[in-house]
Structure 1
Amino acid sequence: MARYTIELRNIISMFGEETVKSWFTDYELTDYLTDDEIAVITARGTWNKDKLAQAIIDHYYMYEIGFETPALFKHQAKVLMRELMEEKLPLIYSAAIEYDPLVNVDYSETYSGTNSGQSQSSSTSNGSGLTVNSDTPQGQISKTAILGGSYASSTGANETTNTITDGSSNSGTQAYTKTVRGNSGVSATAQKMIEQYRQNIIMINRDIIKDMGSLFMIVY
């Protein structure tokens, strides 16, 4: 039986449970978190606004509100929830991230490279020859006479041209990925990491419910 104001259960009887729950869910996750962070919480599936609101109602079901009228209680409930969730939602997000508490090193190193080479060589050789047979003694033949064909009983000539071109090319790629994952043992031992993990397991809903106590007369 209420002594000073009215118990929460009576307000629920007056307005309906869903309506009263809506007073404790009147905030938007997008006001405090990014879409990616909200997706992490949703994928984990361990927390949502309705579960928290139900827990608040169940906890304070028999408590008297700390305000003169239900309207004032409704207003203050909405204000306090928004103030609390600005602090608590980032904690809820961090608690929803899945990770291995025994791993403090996890990275990959990828290397890739391309090498290529090309070589080319070219050579050309030319040759020419002139053969003259003459019955005239060599000493009586001048160069001019030979070129003019004088005294020649027979002549022969040849010209040759050789061209050699060599070329080669090569190319290749190489790549590797180095992955390191585990406990380096430098920053902390496995036992210390487990201890730190346990300290990070915060019962966030319980803390929020406790903070909501300022809305009620803690006289039972």
Structure 2
Amino acid sequence: MAKYTIELRNVIDMFGEATVKSWFSDYELSDYLTDEEIAVITARGVWNKDKLAQAIIDHYYIYEIGLETPALFAHQAKVLMRELMEEKAPLIYSAAIKYDPLVNVDYTETFDRTSGNHSSSNSTSTNNGSGLTVSSDTPQGQISKKSILQGNYASSTSANENENTIADQTTSDGNGTEEYTKRIKGNSGVSASAQRLIRQYRDNIIMINRDIIKDLNMLFMGVY
């Protein structure tokens, strides 16, 4: 039986459980966390506002409210929850992150190297050749090569002149890429032992709901 004000269970009877729970969930995680951080909490599935609100009214079910009227109590409950979540929401997010407590080293090293070569060569060669055969039945003295090539003063002639030019150019290019990736993951055994890492992991899993519930005790008389 209440001695000073009324117990929370009486407030629930007056306003309904859903309404009283809404006083302790009248905040948005988006006011304190990014969408990516909220997605991590949702994916983990171990915490939500409804569970916390239910835990609060279950814990303080037979406690007397610490304010004169239920309306003042509802107002202060909303204000205090928003103030607490500004501090606790990041902790809820960090507790929701999955990681292996036995792994204290996890990094990837990538090495890339590109090599290239270029070579070219040019060569040119020229060959010249000529030949002359003259047969004359009626020699008329000395005659010029030009006249001979024209067929003058000769019974028969044969001649040839040729010039060959060969040009050669060779170019070659080559490129190569080498990629090397190394990943190291595990317990280095330097900073902490496996037992210590597990203990640290357990210590980091803070009982967020329990801490929030304790911080709400200022809303109640502290007697039951």
Q: TM-score when scaled to structure 2?
A: 0.86
Matches within 5 A, 1:11-160: 11-132=11-132, 145-146=144-145, 155-160=159-164
Residues 132-151 of structure 1 show CA distances to partners (whole Å, capped at 9, x for unaligned) of: 5679xxxxx89xx5566599
CA separation in 2, counterparts of 1:163 and 1:117?
A: 24
Do the aligned residues in 2 keep the contact of 1:134 with 1:151 (CA within 8 Å)?
no
Gaps of 5+ in 2: 136-141
2:220 is aligned with what amino acid? F
Distance in 1 of aligned mates of 2:44 and 2:88: 17
Identity of aligned residues (%): 68
* Equivalent position SS for 1:65: coil
Aligned-residue RMSD, C-alpha = 2.5
2:201 aligned with 1:202, yes or no? no
Shift of 1:196: 1.6
Q: Of residues 208, 214, 223 in structure 2, which corresponds to 1:219?
A: 223
Distance in 2, Cα, partners of 1:166 & 1:34: 62
CA distance in 1, matches of 2:216, 2:146: 123
**Counterpart amino acid of residue 44 in structure 1:** R
Structure 1: 5+ residue stretches without partners: 136-140
TM-score by length of 1: 0.87
Query: Partner of 2:196: helix, strand, or coil?
Result: helix
8 Å CA contact 1:37–1:93 kept in 2: the answer is yes
What secondary structure sits across from 1:74 in the alignment?
helix
Q: Tell me the distance in 2 between the aligned counterparts of 1:151 and 1:130.
A: 20
Structure 1 Cα separation of the partners of residues 123 and 146 of structure 2: 31
Of the three residues 168, 171, 175, the one matched with 2:172 is 168
Count of aligned residue pairs for this structure pair: 215
Distance 1:216 1:125 in 2: 108
